[in-house]
Structure 1
Amino acid sequence: MAFSVNTNAGAMAALQSLNATNKSMSTVQSRINTGLNVASTKDDSAKYTVAQTLRGDLGKLSAVTSSLNNAKSVTDTAVAGAEQISDLVNQMKSKTLETSDAGLDAESRKAIAKDLSALKKQINTIIDGSDFNGTNLLKGDGLAATLTNGKVSALQSISGTETLKVDNQGFTAKADTALGVAGTDTDIDAIAAAADGTAAKTAADAFTGKLNTFFGEIKTSLSALGSASRQIEGQLSFNSKLTDVVTSGIGNLVDADLAKESAKLQALQVQTQLGTQALSIANQAPQTILSLFR
C-alpha cells in the first residue's frame, strides 16, 4: 500500500468500526433504559404493529371489566336488598301467625299490627334504597326494558356484540300487591280491628296468603339475582386471566432480555475502548512518512 498523507485507509476503517460500535452501544442503552427490545416501528415493524394491536385489545378489556364491575355492584346491591326483604317478610309471617291466636286480646293484636305496619314501611324503604349509581333493580314494576327503569346490562367481550343483562325484579309492584300501596294498610288494619279470635284468624289467614305469594316471588328474584352475580364474577375472572395472557404476549414480543443486554453492554464498552485505541494508532501512521525525509 502506498504511503500517503491525503488518504489514511487505516484511520477510516478504524473510524467506521468505532461508529458501528457506538451505534450498537446506543441501541443497547436504549433497550436497558426502556426495557423494550422493540420500542418503535423502526426497530421491527411486524412485532411493533402486532404489539400495538394487542395494546388496543387491552384497552378494550379494561372497558369490559369496568362495565362488568358496575353491573356487579348494581346486582350485589339488589341482592343485599332482596335478602333483607326476605328476612322482613319472614318476620311479618311470624307476627301474622301470632295474631291468629284466639287467646290473644285485642290490644295485643293492635300492637302486633303496628309492628306489621312498621315492617311494611321498612320493606318499602329498602326497595327505594337499593340503588347504585342511579340504577335500582328492585324498584319498579319489572316490565320496563330500559336502564331508566332499573334494567342493567354489561359488556362481556371486546367485540361488544355480547351483553350480560340483569332484569328489574319489580319489587314495588309486588310489594304493593302483597302489602298494599304506601299509606294503605287494609289487611293489617283488618287484623287490628278484628272483634274476636275468629275474625282475627280470618284476617290473618288472608294476609298470610299474600305474604306467602310475595315470599315466593322474592325467592325467585333471589335465585335470578344470585345467578346473575355469579355469572358476572365468572366473566370478571376470565377477563382478568385474559388480560394477563395478552400482557404476557406483548412482553414476549417487545420486552428486552436485560441479562443479555447487560452482557452486550460490557462487550461493547470494551470494543469502544479498543476502537478508540485503534483509531489513535491509525492517526499516528502518517507521521512515519516524516522519517523518510530526514
Structure 2
Amino acid sequence: MTNSVHTNASAAIALQNLTRTNERLGDVQSRISTGLKVQGAKDNAAIWAIAQQQRAEVGALGAVKQSLDRATSIADVALSAGESVSDLLNQLKEKVVAAKDTSLTTQSRELLNADFQALLKAIASGIDNATFDGGNILNGSLSGGINFLANADASSFVTLSAKNLTLGGGIIDLTTASDSLLTITAADQALTRLDASIGKLNAALGEIGAQAKQIDAHKTFVGKLMDTLESGIGNLVDADLAKESARLQSLQVQQQLGAQALSIANQAPQIILSLFRGG
C-alpha cells in the first residue's frame, strides 16, 4: 500500500464501515422506538401494501361494530319498553277481571275504569319514549325496521324489525276511546281484546329478542375478526424487540470499534513524518 499524505485508503475504508454501522444502528433504533420492522413502503413495499390493506379492513370493521352497537342499544331500549308494556297489560287484566264482578257499585266501577284508562295512557307514553338515538321500532313510525351494517363492504345487513305497539296498532287492540269498564258488556269486550293483545305482544317481543341475540352474536364475531386481522398485521410489520435489543448491543460495539479503527487510520500519515527526521 502506497504511503501518501493525499490519499488515506485505510481511513476511507474505515469511514465506509463506520457509516454502514451507523446506518444499521439507526435502523435498529428506529425499529425499537416504533416497535415496527416495516414502517413504510421504503422498508418493504409488498409487506407494507398488504398491511395497509388489512388496516383499511380493520377500520371498516370498526364502523360495522359501531353500527351493531347502535342496533344493540335500540333493541335493548325496545325490549325494556316492551317488557314494561307486558307488565302493564297484566295489571290491566286484573282491572278487567275485577270489573266483571256484578256486585260492584257504580262508584267502584268508575274507579276501576279510571285505573284502566290510566294504565292505557302509561302504555302509550312508554311506547312513545322507547327511543335511542332517534330510533324507535315500537311506535309505528317505521314500516320495515332498521338495517345495520354486517360486513366491511357494506353489502350485507342485519335487520331489527319494527313492531307497532301503539294502542289500536294491531298488536295491542285496546284503545282509550273504545274500551272501558263501565259496564259488564264493555268489560267482556275489553277482556277479549286484552287476551289477544297479550298473546301478540309476547310473540312480538320474542321476535325482537331473537333478533337482538343474533345481533349480539354477529357483533362478537366481528370483534374476533378484528382481533385476528390486527394480530395478522402485527405478524407482518411488528419488530421482534428481543432480537433488536441484541442487534443494538452488537452494533454499538461495532460503532465503537469502527471509530477506533478510523482514528488509527487517520494517524497513518504521521508515520511519513518520521521518514524525514534527521538521524
Interval of TM-score (by shorter of Structure 1 and Structure 2)? over 0.9
Q: Is residue 165–residue 172 contact of structure 2 (8 Å, CA) maintained in 1?
A: no
Within a 5 Å distance, the mapping from 1:74-113 to structure 2 comes to 74-113=74-113
Q: What is aligned with 1:203?
A: 186
Secondary structure (helix, strand or coil) at the match of 1:154 reads: strand
Secondary structure (helix, strand or coil) at the match of 1:171 reads: coil
Q: Is residue 141–residue 171 contact of structure 1 (8 Å, CA) maintained in 2?
A: no
1:153 aligns with 2:147: yes
1:187 aligns with 2:182: no
Aligned partner (choices 238, 249, 254) of residue 255 of structure 1: 238
Q: Is residue 73–residue 132 contact of structure 2 (8 Å, CA) maintained in 1?
A: yes
Within a 5 Å distance, the mapping from 1:11-22 to structure 2 comes to 11-22=11-22
The whole-number CA distance in structure 2 between the counterparts of 1:229 and 1:59 is 24
Question: TM-score, normalized by length of structure 1?
Answer: 0.90
Secondary structure (helix, strand or coil) at the match of 1:48 reads: helix
AA aligned to 2:209 is G
AA aligned to 1:223 is G
Structure 1 residues 177, 225: CA separation in 2 closer, same or farther (over 3 Å shift)?
A: closer
Q: Is residue 164–residue 171 contact of structure 2 (8 Å, CA) maintained in 1?
A: no
Q: Is residue 3–residue 289 contact of structure 1 (8 Å, CA) maintained in 2?
A: yes
Within a 5 Å distance, the mapping from 1:42-81 to structure 2 comes to 42-81=42-81
Deviations 1:223-270 (A, max 9, x none): 111011101111111111111111111111111111111111111111
Shift of 1:71: 1.2
Q: Is residue 140–residue 162 contact of structure 2 (8 Å, CA) maintained in 1?
A: yes
Q: Is residue 138–residue 169 contact of structure 1 (8 Å, CA) maintained in 2?
A: yes
Shift of 1:93: 0.9
Aligned partner (choices 206, 209, 219) of residue 226 of structure 1: 209
Question: What is the aligned-residue RMSD (CA, Å)?
Answer: 1.5
Shift of 1:203: 2.5
Deviations 1:138-189 (A, max 9, x none): 10176x23xxxxx211011112111011121011243796222x5x1x321x
Aligned partner (choices 163, 171, 176) of residue 169 of structure 1: 163
Aligned partner (choices 191, 196, 207) of residue 213 of structure 1: 196
Q: Is residue 172–residue 194 contact of structure 2 (8 Å, CA) maintained in 1?
A: no
Shift of 1:101: 1.6
Secondary structure (helix, strand or coil) at the match of 1:130 reads: coil
The whole-number CA distance in structure 2 between the counterparts of 1:141 and 1:134 is 11
Q: Is residue 38–residue 254 contact of structure 1 (8 Å, CA) maintained in 2?
A: yes
Shift of 1:103: 2.5
AA aligned to 1:164 is V
Secondary structure (helix, strand or coil) at the match of 2:179 reads: helix
AA aligned to 1:153 is N
Structure 1: 5+ residue runs without aligned partners? 146-150, 195-199
Greater mean deviation of Cα atoms: 165-174 or 249-258: 165-174
Shift of 1:132: 1.1
Aligned partner (choices 232, 244, 250) of residue 267 of structure 1: 250
The whole-number CA distance in structure 2 between the counterparts of 1:269 and 1:254 is 24
Question: TM-score, normalized by length of structure 2?
Answer: 0.95
Q: Is residue 160–residue 212 contact of structure 2 (8 Å, CA) maintained in 1?
A: no
Structure 1 residues 141, 15: CA separation in 2 closer, same or farther (over 3 Å shift)?
A: closer
AA aligned to 1:261 is E
Q: What is aligned with 2:115?
A: 115
AA aligned to 1:187 is D
Q: Is residue 75–residue 229 contact of structure 1 (8 Å, CA) maintained in 2?
A: yes
1:37 aligns with 2:17: no
The whole-number CA distance in structure 2 between the counterparts of 1:178 and 1:35 is 64
Q: Is residue 32–residue 258 contact of structure 1 (8 Å, CA) maintained in 2?
A: yes
The whole-number CA distance in structure 2 between the counterparts of 1:268 and 1:187 is 89
Q: Is residue 187–residue 207 contact of structure 1 (8 Å, CA) maintained in 2?
A: yes
Shift of 1:2: 2.3
The whole-number CA distance in structure 2 between the counterparts of 1:177 and 1:277 is 92
Secondary structure (helix, strand or coil) at the match of 1:165 reads: strand
AA aligned to 2:161 is D
Q: Is residue 174–residue 214 contact of structure 1 (8 Å, CA) maintained in 2?
A: no
Secondary structure (helix, strand or coil) at the match of 1:138 reads: coil
The whole-number CA distance in structure 2 between the counterparts of 1:3 and 1:179 is 112
Structure 2: 5+ residue runs without aligned partners? none
